[in-house]
Structure 1
Amino acid sequence: MGTTGKQGGGKAKSPAPKRNPTSKAKSAPNSKVRASAKVYRRRRLVALVLVLLFVAGIAFSGVYVAGLFGMGPAAKTETQQDGNGAAAKPKAADNAGTKPSAVCDEAGIQVTAATDKPSYTVDENPVLSLRVTNTGAAPCDINVGTSQMEYVITSGDDIIYNSKNCQLDPNDLVKNLAPGASETANFVWKVKRNAPDCAPVVSEPGRGGATYVLVATLGKWSSERVPFTLQ
């Protein structure tokens, strides 16, 4: 018996696969990322080159400026001319900020003596002054303590009074005297004689217009002679 219907001798064709419409869209972002990375690297390279050029320009200008002041290899060597057109000799570079250190000049230390009055009556005690002044250009450390002070009163060759003969508890006092600065010490003389080691003295200084001389000393410096009278 025959069969109804057609039987093909060949294989049946399978339906064509459908394309995924999203596959192309998915590949687009990756290409953009790759493109952006290239652009970014290119921009970084350009920026780096600009920075290097800028640094090189600063270094060159720094060397040139140093050369203008005679401090670098680019110092000017061309001969300059003065206002009259004649060749001027190059000036030596000034070493700014290299001032010599200030050193105390002991020759600038001066000691002066004084009395508060030129003449004294019987009921008055002379006030003797010792003044030390730094007349130098630099500060000086000076010992102005009583251990360094000495008031000497004489009459001719006779030493009437020396403040060191009976001095008690001498002390040191170092002060820094700036240029032009002074320190003053006063001492009241009770019109008495004294002797070395504070030995007893019987006689009294004469009065009635007798002239006496004061010399004040501070360490290695002594004053000029200052006369005064006792009435």
Structure 2
Amino acid sequence: MVVTSGKKGQRKGSRQLASIPGVSAKVYRRRRTVVSILALLIVVVLAITGFALFSLLSPSNGSAGDLATIPSADSTAETAVPAAKPDTPASAVCNEAGIKVSGLVDKTSFAADENPKLTLRVTNTGEAPCDINVGTSQMEFKITSGNDSIFNSKDCQADPTDLVKNLKPGASETANFTWKRNRSAQGCASVAAMPGGGGATYVFVATLGKWASDKVIFQLQ
């Protein structure tokens, strides 16, 4: 009875062991494949992260200041070249109608020991700023008495120069000349005669290029 019971127990135990499921080779290979893929992904992520950190920490070919000076692809001409200021003067040449030249004398009558102070004034009477040559090469201070040419500043002018200035509307430029009550001749030839006094009348005309002033009358005592 005991022996028979033992054999039956052994057969029963064998059936219990066989019922425990084992890991098949196919499932094992599948798990290894998944683990390998996960490991590969981890390596790729670590490689990308390390490259990004290296790019941030490593120095570039140029300094930050150099990069700041390089214009972007969408830069326009206005950003590359400073725009003109609103008060930038115009460069148009003044026309004849917009320029007024005046002649002035500081007195209408001069004592025997006084020298007349002559003034040439040019004014822009136009509506726009313009450039005009106000150099000595363009100036002429001329004094006459009747048909007699008494004095001309161009007769003895030395080293005439050009001077271009921009005149805004209403703006003026002046030049002064003190006449020493002497005569002049073309080529700066010597003239012994002196202008007369005693109430003699003289006419002064100022000229700048193509523009001339009205006649200004004064007397010498």
Separation in structure 2 between the aligned mates of residue 108 and residue 13 of structure 1, nearest angstrom: 125
1:1-231 maps to which residues of 2 (within 5 A)?
A: 4-6=3-5, 7-8=7-8, 12-15=14-17, 16-17=19-20, 103-106=92-95, 107-231=97-221
Separation in structure 1 between the aligned mates of residue 170 and residue 192 of structure 2, nearest angstrom: 44
Distance 1:4 1:212, change over 3 A: closer
CA RMSD of aligned residues (A): 2.5
Given that residues 160 and 205 in structure 1 are in contact (C-alpha distance below 8 angstroms), is that contact kept between their aligned partners in structure 2? yes
Give the letter for the 1:171 counterpart: T
Give the letter for the 1:203 counterpart: A
Of structures 1 and 2, the one with the larger relative CO (CA 8 A, separation 6+) is: 2
Given that residues 91 and 131 in structure 2 are in contact (C-alpha distance below 8 angstroms), is that contact kept between their aligned partners in structure 1? no
Per-residue deviation, 1:145: 1.1
Per-residue deviation, 1:17: 3.8
Query: Which structure dedicates a bigger proportion of its chain to helix?
Result: 2
Q: Which runs of 5+ in 1 are unaligned?
A: 19-100
Separation in structure 2 between the aligned mates of residue 160 and residue 114 of structure 1, nearest angstrom: 17
Distance 1:3 1:208, change over 3 A: closer
Give the TM-score normalised by structure 2.
0.62
Aligned to 2:24: none
Give the letter for the 2:214 counterpart: E
SS of 1:5 mapped into structure 2: helix
Distance 1:14 1:132, change over 3 A: same
Q: Which runs of 5+ in 2 are unaligned?
A: 22-89
Structure 1 ranges of 4+ moved more than 2 A: 2-12, 15-18, 101-105
SS of 2:137 mapped into structure 1: coil
Given that residues 102 and 138 in structure 1 are in contact (C-alpha distance below 8 angstroms), is that contact kept between their aligned partners in structure 2? no
Separation in structure 2 between the aligned mates of residue 102 and residue 169 of structure 1, nearest angstrom: 26
Given that residues 200 and 219 in structure 2 are in contact (C-alpha distance below 8 angstroms), is that contact kept between their aligned partners in structure 1? yes
Give the letter for the 1:196 counterpart: Q
Separation in structure 2 between the aligned mates of residue 104 and residue 170 of structure 1, nearest angstrom: 21
Separation in structure 1 between the aligned mates of residue 173 and residue 142 of structure 2, nearest angstrom: 19
Q: Deviations over 1:44-66 (max 9, x none)?
A: xxxxxxxxxxxxxxxxxxxxxxx
Per-residue deviation, 1:104: 4.7
Separation in structure 1 between the aligned mates of residue 91 and residue 164 of structure 2, nearest angstrom: 19
Give the TM-score normalised by structure 1.
0.59
Distance 1:210 1:5, change over 3 A: same
How many residues get paired? 149
Separation in structure 1 between the aligned mates of residue 136 and residue 215 of structure 2, nearest angstrom: 20
Given that residues 93 and 132 in structure 2 are in contact (C-alpha distance below 8 angstroms), is that contact kept between their aligned partners in structure 1? no
SS of 2:142 mapped into structure 1: strand
Amino-acid identity (%): 59
Per-residue deviation, 1:4: 3.6
Distance 1:214 1:10, change over 3 A: same
